[in-house]
A and B are shown apart, each in its own frame.
Chain A
Amino acid sequence: MPTDVLMPALSPTMEEGKLSRWLKKEGDAVRSGDVIAEIETDKATMEVEAVDEGVLARILVPEGAEGVKVNTPIAVIAAEGEDVSAAAKQAGTAKAEAPANAGSAEAAKPDAAEAPGSDVAPRRPAEPVQAETELPEGVKTVTITVREALRDAMAEEMRLNENVFVMGEEVAEYQGAYKVTQGLLQEFGARRVVDTPITEHGFAGLGVGAAFAGLRPVVEFMTFNFAMQAIDHIINSAAKTLYMSGGQISCPIVFRGPNGAASRVAAQHSQDYSSWYSHVPGLTVIAPFTAADAKGLLKAAIRSPNPVVFLENEILYGQSFPVPDVEDWIVPIGKARIARPGEHVTIVAWSHAMFHALEAAETLAADGIEAEVIDLRTLRPLDAETIVESVRKTGRCVVVEEGWPQAGMGAEISARIMEEAFDYLDAPVTRVSGKDVPMPYAANLEKLALPSAAEVVEAARAVCYR
């Protein structure tokens, strides 16, 4: 059976082109891979190679023809042993061999594309809301630092699951640059507590590979500022692969370490990455404030089959909080916590900014303004429901964020409130954020660059018109 050679598309956007030259003439033998013609598009001159073998029976489109539409038959190839003149007579009626029974892209249109309205994305399915988890009533607690809570979370999960291991710079012999991994090497040995060279891009990628292959890496970045060298693996390799593999390859990895400003370490060591990572579908982003949440959420993160970015805070490491003294304290991912109930204004914060939110709430209370303080705990998935429910009650919202304002978490939360609680608002949603500058070094300037309780009080008063 003779085969039509069709005008090929040589780029995703090509619709037509010029047939500039034939390199074979009628009657020539053609082998698979032979260049038979040259085509000129608006971008380049390209070669057309034969896929089928046989004899070039007839040329249908002459040299120099312009505006030849993609998929137009341009020649006929007769199969080996076939009558060339008979094949040539059938010119233009032959079916292209591939795909069988589908000579044109038109005929090959897939079924699903026929569905009416298929250009409109279907609605995102609702995500189930998880249960609220306050510290259980009457539970026995112990007071420990956030640093100890994080260490305990890792140690407990390592005891439970042989596949959990910790890697990063100075996590083993040095006992952790911020002592978060203290004692892990002694308990679990060098096989499971791995000191890496200073090679963030490399070990982030290596961790992703280990996770693809079934391990549960906990990758420590000395600070998230250094993770910018590794961000390609966090996003392109870890976050997107489940989707790109049609659900085949999961990446159960935790990237953790201190995030945001510490004290007097200037612009390159003080960035808050909350909004950067929370932008990315496929990632889960957690930023705890209390030791109980740090422990319960890190354990949940290590158990999660998803890549998790776990944003800690250096100043919080030494802060002490009560933590339930129970065997397996887990805090569900994706659920905010109402840290202080109130009815006049909602204050949303997370991680270190919770100090400003809670201090501001105290000050406001003295003035008769009862603020409801929400600790987000998880930034992605964002517990918009808890925020919206609170705003429907208070009619006012102040978001406190240590990062920069543009495209920040505050901007996102503000948009969500507008979408879901616009009619309940009695004042514009207000952001108290890090100032729109690289972090300065000088003590006074650094203080000015970061949000403060006083700024939160001022913003809350403004939205309450007080």
Chain B
Amino acid sequence: MGFLDNIQVMLGKKQIDEKPAVSAQNQLKKKILVVEDEKLLANALELKFLHENFEVFKAENGQIGLEMAQAHTPDIILLDLMMPVMDGKTMLHQLRQIPQFKYTPVIVLTNAGEIDNVRETKFYDNASEFLIKANVNPDDIVKVVNDLI
């Protein structure tokens, strides 16, 4: 493992036996999956990340999110929590059972009312980051995404 990998392990952002990131180096565009039921917000994120030269996939609930993840193997997932059919917490839990997605970085985006214990959320099922939608700008999200992949 390289020096940077070690730092990432220390920061808790990487597991020691993580498989090396495949897609980032091999493909031209990074892939991002946006799992969000509010169309306005999903479209804003899509616009932003297309502009940042990402390939963007959208899912409007956790169920579709799982399907999309398996179909397209995104490098990173933006995950809303409150969604119909299957919510974010359930989807994340199921996602982590799939070996391929055990370590995929997931950023939880929420408007936070749904979760009471903010600290607890950050660590459930190894979510990499936890952001409150109304308090961040799209470019902040881009920055966090780029830091994680």
Bound together: no
